[in-house]
Amino acid sequence: MKIAIIGLGNMGKTYLNSFWATRFFQPEDMLLVVRDLKKYADQSAWNRFPMTDQIQANLGEYDLVLIAVKPQDFPALAKQIQPFIKPQQLIVSVMAGVSLLQLQEQLQAPKVIRAMPNLPSQLGQGMTVFTASAAIDRKELFLIQNIINTTGKSIFVEEERLVDAATAVSGSGPAYVFFLMQSLIEAAVKLGFKPSEAELLVHQTFLGSIQLQNSQSLSLPEWIQKVASKGGTTEQALLVFEKEHTRENLIKAVEAAYKRACELGK
């Protein structure tokens, strides 16, 4: 399989590294299309791959074209690459807010996939939600899922709006986790810990909690009850969360992110 990657930002590099790590793809089977070749001239890690800053006719020779540019750059890019796109090519977009219909119309391409990965994909621990146009058959869908799973785990959805929902949940989710971690670190410092101690305290707590939750098939409310004994310290913290409507506010925050994801697609 031959793959062209357009855009070498965080997601472009993530997928390139994941493809290369599988050893299923040889450098000559790939093409990297970047905005500025000079930026990569002295970086030996990229020298093994064919790279160009020009859209060329040979783009149509690649089985899969991964578009990983900023959404606002897509209209101009589409005009450049549309003349070279072939009907049988698989077009995979990781651009937030760019719909299947926009991809099909602006590229004149029937076989399009819209995917929303998140930042942990860089470590092979990502979560991606993706959907596909009706022209994608089962075999191609299976192939796409295997490719996406090189960066972690994935969920296929038939309703495209759920890709926008995933943008608000798993796409933005790491920032929510980091926000909670930072808040706990600040609380620990306020209680007397050194910043380095507070960071270790919180980091290991999050890491251990996820591993613990994965170790047994208990629900999250059941895990909470295991930690929060009646009349204990954790219960007092949970009562503050309830009083301050913390759960409701978190849900509102995710809904606001979802609304923005929908707006970006218009």
Q: 61 has which bridge partners?
A: none
Q: Hey, what's the torsion of the CAs at 153, 155, 156, 162, to 10 degrees?
A: -130
Q: Which two tokens stand for residue 28?
A: 């000559």
Global pTM? Answer: 0.88
Three-state DSSP state, 26: coil
pLDDT for residue 43 is more than 70:
no
What would the pLDDT profile of 107-154 be if each residue is shown by its tens digit?
999 999 999 999 999 889 999 999 999 999 999 999 999 999 999 999
Backbone angles phi and psi of 31, in degrees to 5: -135, 130
Cβ atoms of residues 185 and 198 within 8 Å: yes
Lowest-confidence range among 22-36, 39-53, 161-175, 241-255? Answer: 39-53
pLDDT for residue 264 is more than 80:
no
Judged by phi (left if over 0) then psi (alpha if -120 to 50, else beta), residue 192 lies in left
- For the segment 64-87, the average pLDDT, to the nearest whole number, is 94
Cβ atoms of residues 14 and 151 within 8 Å: yes
Lowest-confidence range among 48-57, 212-221, 251-260? Answer: 48-57
- List Cβ neighbours of 52 (8 Å cut-off, separation of 6 or more): 31, 32, 33, 34, 37
Q: Which two tokens stand for residue 163?
A: 């890709």
Closest CA to 48 of 25, 23, 63, 28: 28
End-to-end, the C-alpha distance of the chain in Å comes to: 34
What span, in angstroms and rounded, lies between the C-alpha atoms of 50 and 8?
13
